[in-house]
């Protein structure tokens, strides 16, 4: 199967996640929904979830309870921006090399009152 076919198949599978019934903890203050966990497993991108979690530690949930991670591939690397959902940048990181299968993805991180919940946009 080609890289493009794999990307199409992954995008299609991700579109079916519209909620979650369980969380998977990846750090003391961060959990993944079923869709985000599926993405991490299928695309072998736990590194992306860890990157997001490491930046969320720096976010004050009393000021920003909602965040948005945007990954955009750039040749072999990727630009990753975390903002408040309104375009106000909270963090930015460049990853020199990634084999992430999609050209881009957007994830949400929402403060639950106890921990950050990382989810697909379709699960919000």
Give the CATH number of the domain where residue 102 resides. 3.10.450.150
The predicted model scores a pTM of 0.96
pLDDT in tens, 36-59: 999 999 999 999 999 999 999 999
Between 4 and 109, name the one with better pLDDT: 109
Cα–Cα distance, 36 to 40 (Å, whole number): 6
123 near 81, Cβ under 8 Å? no
Per-residue confidence at 12, pLDDT binned at 50, 70, 90?
A: very high
Residue 87 confidence (pLDDT) above 90: yes
What pLDDT score was predicted for residue 44? 96
Q: Domain tally for the chain?
A: 1
Residue 1 has pLDDT above 80, yes or no: no
Which domain does 81 fall in, by range? Answer: 3-123
């Amino acid at each position: 199967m080609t890289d493009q076919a794999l990307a199409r198949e992954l995008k299609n599978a991700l579109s079916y996640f519209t909620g979650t019934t369980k969380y998977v903890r990846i750090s003391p203050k961060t959990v993944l929904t079923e869709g985000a966990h599926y993405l991490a497993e299928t695309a072998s991108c736990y590194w992306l979830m860890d990157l997001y979690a490491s930046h969320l530690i720096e976010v004050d949930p009393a000021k920003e309870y909602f965040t948005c991670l945007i990954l955009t591939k750039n040749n072999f690397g990727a630009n990753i921006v975390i903002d408040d959902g309104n375009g106000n940048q909270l963090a930015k990181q460049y990853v020199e090399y990634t084999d992430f299968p999609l050209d881009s993805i957007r994830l949400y991180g929402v403060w639950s009152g106890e921990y950050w919940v990382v989810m697909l946009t379709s699960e919000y």
